[in-house]
Structure 1
Amino acid sequence: MPKTAPQNLEDSDEELLTFKYSITSYGADYPVDSLVKRMKNGSIYVPQFQRGYVWDHREASRFIESLLLGLPVPGIFLAKEQDTQKLLVIDGQQRLKTIQYFYDGVFEPNQREFSLTKVADEFDGLTYQTLSEEDRRRLDDSIIPATIVKQDEPSDDNSSIYYIFERLNTGGQQLKPQEIRACIYHGEFNNLLAELNYHQCWRDIYGSPKPDKRMRDQEMILRFLALYFEGDNYQKPMKGFLNQFLGQNRYLKKYDKSAIQLVFIRTIETAYEVWGGRAFKPKNQINAAVFDCIMVGLARRLEKGLINDKESLNTNYQHLLKSQNFLDVTVNSSRTTEKYIVQSRLSQAINAFENVQ
């Protein structure tokens, strides 16, 4: 990973939502055995993300004990996916995974038998199978309240779920924007981003042989692709723009895999051939604003065919990095996601490369 994170990534901007959603929400009370069944068949699923399961054996045991004692427990938060009708767990994965582990009989973090520990004497040392029939029935019938949300409008991107997820994600290590997107928009496009992220030229430019654990490298690829394909429709916040682009093309129906692969690979290979590992680094680290516009400008030129005059390309690039107008909308700006600033740097980069032979 680079010594420092890329500059000007959208997660560093304090961005306010400039639009409203229409969201339906309702409450549902699920018996524990029903939740376990639904998790096993995938109709309720916990997304894979950085934080993962964090409870220890004692914490997990005390949660099961609360259910056995009939004590109220915190509710869970689920989002209904429009296309599959499955329920995505936004908040409550610790509770849901705990009951799943207990019913399976194995505490997954240490792969040991899940017997209750440091709980009331009547339950201490017991597994689901060794509970009395009465206690098993009481656990099966215990209720966990849920709030289920569904985005009605806009109907094509499920982007509100991103913001709900983000605002509920307040414990432990905060998830980065791309980590949340990987949870909510899992699918063919997200898989393709992970695949492109391993391209050797990109890894050399980014400065690490291994992908960034916080997915900031994937976010930069997404940012380039979004501005290349939909830059004319850009509206701040950048966060929302990327959410919408990934959500609308989640299954590679709007822009197909071959088109995305072609534009990214052709552009990043040309950049690496000309600038090597120093590409997009006006100082000592990648600048996201420099990266997105230079990549778009280079990609637009490559639409006309291969570039033969690499020296001219490099000269124009170096002039651009010294231009005060360009620096004002990239390196020197603290508002790199403002619409007029995004448009300005994109147009400057496109104009710089369009006549290179």
Structure 2
Amino acid sequence: MNFSAMDHDDEVPASEKDEESISDDPPEIEGIEPETTGNSTWENKARQLMRQIVTQKVDLPISKLAAMIDDGEIDLAPTFQRRLRWTRSQQSRLIESVIMNVPIPPVFLGEYEPGKYLVLDGRQRLTALYEYLTGNFKLSGLEVWTELVGKKFSNLQKMHVQGLSSPAQAITRRFVPAVLILHESVPEVKYEVFDRLNTGGVIAEPMEVRNAIYYGPFNKLLHEASELEEFRRLWGIPLDTKGRERNGIYKRMADLEMVLRFFAFQDYKKFDGSLKVFLNNFMSKRNEEYTTNKTLLDKDHELFLETMKRVLFLLGDKALHRPISKDSVSKFPSAPYADAILYTVSKLSNEQITEKNGLKIRETLCNLCLNDKAFVKSITVGTNARTAADYRIETVVNAILVKQ
């Protein structure tokens, strides 16, 4: 990248949030508890603090921004970023701010290979600038430069004021401040940087952070698996686009987290009680494994699809809603309950996938949820504890697999 250097001190500034608004509606899933890293010993904490974050501060020239994105130097990665986006009015107000020379908060870019950058924070700002420069929308909702409402960038280029910069020049002569998290920084550090950038204003969900940091073939599989009709039916995610975009699970990428949990809990014995670390490590490791084991991706895809089909066949659309009486289930599906069901069903033999066995499994699960207080506790209270995870999975395994 051919950037001009910025003359600032070495402290990385906190980003002022200007990302998209997210409604206050919670994800429509039960049992998702805050992800913590668990207790750290002094030694572990010291090692964590000594990790190096290699950064560089630069100015991105707006005049060259579109070319940088088109050439792949900056990857906006729309598929792997937050799903909500600014309205055209919000994008227009950013353009108006640039014309007015209002300072733009810095964007943060993560170098995933030399000279190639993913947007860790500020994608909406860069997307708005890119789409306007490339003629994708007209300005709307302006409060100061109302004369420019309805104008595309090409229209601004034709406007000239003697002795003054044209509106188009007022945009292209500006710069966007940026902080580069260089390739030398380890992925875990990039995660923490992204996480801390999103502690104020609009808070990024844990899966949104992973989505930006653990960019690779496994992350791509998570997206593809989450689009399966069987999966969406089980989690109550609308199949139509408009309904899906209003769904709390989809908006916060909790659907991707549920796919990730399915694969991670296939090896639940490695869960040590820190869900954040467990899922992070699994995602990072799986990305690496896909590069060395060419058949693993196909096996994972087949296992996931087959399990979703089995669960629908055996237990129906409400399979992941925990029974609260003989005739009713919880309003939302339960993530901890799903951990146990999905793991167990994935281990059933083909001969066990019958309607008769489905009835037996439903009765068994209903009995556990209504009569086993320890099991109910493991899916409703302290669900991120290792003992809770072990208990709920092994209880369902023993009740369904062992007793068959």
Q: TM-score, normalised by structure 1?
A: 0.76
Residue 62 (structure 1) aligns with: 97
Shift of 1:4: 7.3
Partner of 1:275: 315
Residues 91 and 128 (structure 1 numbering): CA distance in 2 closer, same or farther, change over 3 Å? farther
1:352: which partner in 2?
Answer: 399
Q: Tell me the secondary structure at the aligned position of residue 180 of structure 2.
A: strand
2:28 alignment counterpart: 5
SS in structure 2 at match of 1:218: helix
Instruction: Structure 2: give runs of 5+ residues left out of the alignment.
Output: 1-24, 325-329
> Do the aligned residues in 2 keep the contact of 1:50 with 1:179 (CA within 8 Å)?
no
Find the partner of 2:275 among 238, 258, 274: 238
Aligned-partner Cα distance in 2 for 1:200–1:31: 43
1:267–1:44 Cα change, 3 Å = same
- Separation in structure 1 between the aligned mates of residue 298 and residue 348 of structure 2, nearest angstrom: 19
Please state if 1:164 is matched with 2:193: yes
CA contact (8 A) 1:76 1:92 kept: yes
Select 1:295's aligned residue among 338, 342, 349: 342
Amino acid at match of 1:202: F
Aligned to 1:320: 368
DSSP 3-state at the match of 1:30 = strand
1:69-88 pair list within 5 angstroms: 73-82=104-113, 85-88=115-118
**Normalising to structure 2: TM-score of the pair?**
0.69
Per-residue deviation, residues 234-280 of structure 1 (Å, max 9, x unmatched): 23431332233223334744672321122222222222222212313
SS of 1:245's partner is helix
> Distance in 1 between the 2:65 and 2:27 partners?
42
3-state SS of 1:249 partner: helix
1:329 match: 378
Offset at residue 297 of structure 1 (A) = 2.3
| Inter-CA distance 131–182: structure 2 relative to 1 (3 Å threshold) | farther
Identify the residue that residue 61 of structure 2 maps to in structure 1.
31
List per-residue Cα deviations over 1:135-180 (Å, max 9, x = no partner): 5788656443321114657x5xx24433433332357654433344
Q: CA deviation at 1:15?
A: 1.9
| Alignment coverage as a number of residue pairs | 334
Gaps of 5+ in 1: none
Report the alpha carbon displacement of residue 289 of structure 1 after superposing the two structures with TM.
0.5
Indicate the residue corresponding to 2:285 in structure 1. Answer: 248
Query: 2: CA distance between counterparts of 1:134 and 1:236?
Result: 62
Shift in alpha-carbon separation, 1:51–1:273, aligned structure 2, 3 A = closer
Q: Which residue of 2 aligns with 1:204?
A: 233
Partner of 2:177: 145
- 1:37 is aligned with what amino acid? A
**How far apart are the structure 2 equivalents of 1:178 and 1:77?**
18
Change (3 A) 1:279 1:100: closer
Q: Distance in 2 between matches of 1:29 and 1:3?
A: 37
Quote the residue 2:218 is aligned against: 189
Partner of 2:122: 92
